[in-house]
Every structure is written in C-alpha cells, then in structure tokens.
C-alpha cells in the first residue's frame, strides 16, 4: 500500500490524550460525566489546551468517508474505526433554525463524543457520496464503537424530497434494514435520530413483510409441510398479514391511513410542526381505538415494556422536567410500532422452537430480526401529547445465551441545544454546559448502555 495512503487519517481515536484510545477509557469518561451535574472533566487540562473550533474536514473532524476507496482504507486500518462512532448523514442538514442556518447536526454529535469521552467520529455523508458499496459500508459500520444515524429535512413519505441528493429514499430504507439485521453478538449498536428514527420505523414494517414472504415461500426447504411447526408459522404469517392489513392509523379522532400498504402507515405528518423544547412523558394509551386488534397489540407492548425498564424511563421518572429538543414535521405512528412489536415478538417466540433448523439454512436471517421494539416515551406541551413515539428501544434476544442486545431511536435531537445551532458556529460547546443539558446526558446514557453486552 502507498505510504501516503497509510497516513490518510490519524490511526487512533484519541485527540486530547493518547491514553484514551480504549473502550475502558470511553466508559470511564462517560461515567464521570454522568455522575453529577457539576464536576469537571477528567481531561480538564487537555480540554483547555486543545480547543475544538472547526466543522467537518478540520482535525479532529477530518475523517469523512467519500467513496469505496475510503471504505477499503478503513477496513485495512481497523484502529481508525474500532473506538470511533460512525455517523451516517442522510441529508445535508436537518432543517433551518431561526437564524436561517441549515443545521448540520452531525458535527454536534462529533463534538459531544470528543469533549466528553475523547472519542473519534467518522462521517458518512451519504447525501453527497451516495452508497458506493453497501456490503463494505455495513462491514465498516459494524467494526465501529456505535452507529448514529442522523436526521435530515426530507420526508420518508415522499421520495421526491430526496431528488437533489446522491442517495435515494429506497437506498436509505435498505441501509436501515441492513443495520437492523446486523445487531448480532459483538456488533455495533445503533442510535437513529429524527429522520433516522422515521426510516427505521418504515424498515420495521418492510422487514416483517419480507419475513412473512420468506416463511411462506421457503420454509418448506427446512421444515416439512405436514410438520406442526410449519403449520404454526404459516398460520402466524396469515394472522400478522390480516392484522397489518386492517390496522388503522388515527390522529385526533381522524383516520389518516388504513393498513400496512398505505404509504403513511409507519410515518405521517404530525398534527403540528414540533420545533423547540418539549417535556418527555411516559408512553401510555387508554386502549380506545377503532381497530379491533389494537388492544391485543397494546397488551403485548405492556408485556415488552415490563421486561425492560431502562435508562430513558428511569430518567423520566427520577429527573424532574426532562426536556429535549424537537425539530420535525413528520412523526412515527404509534399503531405501526405497536404492530411491529407484536409481530416481532410473535415471530421470534415461534421461530425459537425451530431455531436449530433455521440457523443453518437460507432462512437464518429471520433469527436476526428484533425480538421487540418498545415505545419508550412521548412528548408533551402544556399537558397535551404532541409526539406519541418520541423514542423506541429495539431489542434482540440471543438464542444461545438469552442475553439481550439493544439499539435505540429518537424523534428528538439530543445533540442540539435550545438555540438549534451547530456548536462550531454558536461557540457553545463547554463541558459543563453539556453536563447540565438533558439531551446530551440522554445521548451519553444511551451510548453507554448500548455498548455494554
């Protein structure tokens, strides 16, 4: 390999201190950050001597993947990505703030990771690079510490809003599916934000449809048709399809979509555009709904929720007036996520009875589906619920160890402060400021928990 190519980027994640290039250091620094809201960083001297001033392209934010050669370079130099966060950028900005700036929020994620944990970020600006090689992209992402799938201003329900981008809506949905299916042992957890949250919601529905099609058309390769396990799985597929086809999406008493083939089934316009601070509340529903199967979905969700009471729920319960930043006009529909959770849970419970046969067959990908997707919280303003699905926890059960792996999705932007600006433009990126911000703390809590297996 050419000597200049070998020196393309720094080979380690460290910038402030050469001793921070490890998962142990990363965890220690985050733990110290989350311990309270007043103490200084363990890297206080280094933070004061090396200032972060630039946008993407300026060290230490110089690691930008633009083509297949960059992907291959990282694969040949694993230390670049090993202890770094991969940031997927589906759009050039997430929207315009009050200053008329197109907010490129991905740089804020990089600033937060650097200042709190001296952790590198590698940017994948798909809107200008496209996806040159999906398989290599997934391989690189899975070698990183974690994946952050950022937001963007286009709409999941309108493919034409991606026309001026080098990546299409279809490609982003396929990438979201691939990331969902890649959460295996020792893999990178993913955090999907805003547009990423909406893309992964649509991906849930598409994957469930693909699972049903695969079972119907290929299960006989693995299990004989007269076997009770075959009959049970096919019956379940019919039930899932029936429920999905008849489930209605209702907002404020009005039906806005009917059935899982409706383009607005997973994601639709919010009742109002939600921009600015909103309070997080526990998700709840009274069960009143025009679809007869809705209560069944809600009961399954209650069960899934009881099995995992994690950091977001605990934060809402124990931290007073937990406020996060919203910046969106589309939202994920609660019915779609409740349906996905029920379908995933039913599929995985049934597939587990024949996992030994499926795991060594062309159907093995079915065992990599999530085992549940839980709605963690909603947002409210003056006691009125604005976004029912403000965050989700995507869980995966390991059939061999029974351990659970998790990824998360947020409709809110934990990487933004109340001015909705990029840190390198506003100059607001002080460690103690981050330490007292609910969104930044939430992002760090989720990162910390999701990398622990």
Q: pLDDT tens, 300-350?
A: 999 988 877 666 666 665 555 667 777 657 899 999 999 999 999 999 999
Confidence of residue 233 (pLDDT cuts 50, 70, 90): very high
Out of 126-135, 136-145, 310-319, pick the least confident.
Answer: 310-319
Q: What is the pLDDT of residue 282?
A: 85
198 pLDDT above the threshold of 70: yes
- CATH number of the domain enclosing 317: 3.40.50.880
| Cα of 221 vs its chain's centroid, Å | 34
Range of the domain at 196: 3-450
Q: Are 129 and 166 in contact (CB under 8 A)?
A: yes
User: What's residue 1's pLDDT?
Assistant: 41
**For the chain, percent of residues with pLDDT exceeding 70:** 93
Q: Look at residue 133 and give its three-state secondary structure.
A: coil
pTM listed for this prediction: 0.94
Contact between residue 394 and residue 308 where contact means Cβ atoms under 8 Å apart: no
Let me know: does 404 contact 436? Beta carbons within 8 Å. Answer: no
Distances (CA, A) of 100 to 62, 210, 299, 324: 26, 42, 45, 21
Total of domains in the chain = 1
The total number of residues shown for the chain amounts to 453
* Mean pLDDT of the region 13-20: 92
In this structure, are residues 214 and 172 in contact, taking their beta carbons and an 8 Å threshold?
no
The strand pairing partners of 277, in sequence order, are 325
Q: Using CB atoms within 10 A of its CB, is residue 275 exposed (0-12), middle (13-18) or buried (19+)?
A: middle
Highest-pLDDT range among 234-238, 377-381, 418-422: 234-238
Q: Is the pLDDT of residue 109 over 90?
A: yes
Query: How far is residue 92 from each of residues 70, 84, 101, 130, 182, measured CA to CA in Å?
Result: 20, 22, 12, 12, 26
Q: Are strands 404-410 and 384-397 parallel, antiparallel or unpaired?
A: antiparallel
For residue 5, the model assigns a pLDDT of 46
**Cβ 317 vs Cβ 309: under 8 Å:** no
């Amino acid at each position: 390999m050419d000597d200049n190519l070998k020196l393309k980027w720094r080979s380690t994640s460290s910038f402030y201190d050469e001793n921070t290039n490890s998962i142990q250091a990363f965890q220690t620094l985050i733990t110290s950050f989350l311990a309270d809201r007043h103490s200084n960083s363990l890297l206080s001297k280094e933070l004061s001597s090396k200032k972060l001033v630039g946008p993407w392209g300026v060290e230490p934010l110089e690691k930008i993947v633009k083509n297949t050669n960059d992907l291959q370079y990282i694969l040949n130099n694993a230390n670049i990505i090993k202890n770094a966060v991969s940031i997927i950028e589906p759009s050039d900005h997430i929207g315009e703030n009050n200053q008329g700036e197109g907010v490129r929020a991905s740089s804020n994620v990089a600033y937060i990771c650097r200042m709190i944990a001296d952790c590198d970020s590698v940017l994948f600006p798909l809107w200008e690079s496209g996806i040159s090689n999906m398989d290599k992209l997934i391989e690189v992402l899975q070698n990183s510490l974690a994946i952050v799938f950022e937001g963007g201003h286009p709409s999941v329900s309108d493919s034409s809003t991606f026309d001026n981008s080098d990546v299409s809506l279809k490609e982003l949905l396929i990438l979201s599916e691939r990331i969902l299916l890649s959460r295996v042992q020792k893999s990178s957890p993913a955090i999907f934000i805003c547009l990423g949250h909406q893309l992964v919601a649509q991906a849930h529905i598409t994957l469930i449809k693909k699972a049903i099609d695969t079972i119907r058309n290929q299960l006989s390769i693995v299990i004989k048709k007269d076997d009770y396990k075959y009959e049970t799985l096919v019956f379940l597929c019919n039930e899932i399809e029936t429920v999905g086809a008849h489930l209605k999406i209702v907002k404020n008493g009005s039906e806005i979509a009917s059935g899982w083939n409706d383009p607005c089934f997973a994601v639709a316009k919010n009742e109002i555009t939600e921009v600015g601070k909103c309070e997080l509340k526990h998700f709840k529903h009274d069960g009143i709904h025009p679809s007869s199967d809705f209560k069944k979905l809600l009961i399954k969700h209650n069960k899934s929720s009881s099995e995992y009471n994690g950091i977001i729920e605990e934060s809402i319960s124990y931290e007073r007036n937990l406020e996060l930043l919203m910046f969106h006009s589309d939202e994920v529909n609660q019915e779609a996520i409740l349906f996905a959770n029920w379908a995933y849970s039913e599929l995985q419970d049934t597939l587990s009875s024949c996992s030994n046969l499926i795991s060594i067959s062309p159907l093995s990908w079915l065992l990599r589906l999530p085992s549940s997707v839980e709605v963690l919280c909603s947002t409210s303003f003056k006691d009125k619920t604005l976004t029912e699905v403000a965050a989700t926890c995507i869980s995966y059960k390991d059939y061999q160890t029974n351990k659970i792996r998790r990824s998360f999705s947020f409709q809110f932007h934990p990487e933004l402060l109340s001015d909705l600006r990029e840190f390198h433009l506003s100059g607001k990126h002080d460690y103690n400021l981050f330490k007292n911000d609910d969104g930044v703390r939430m992002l760090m809590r989720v990162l910390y928990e999701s990398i622990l297996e």
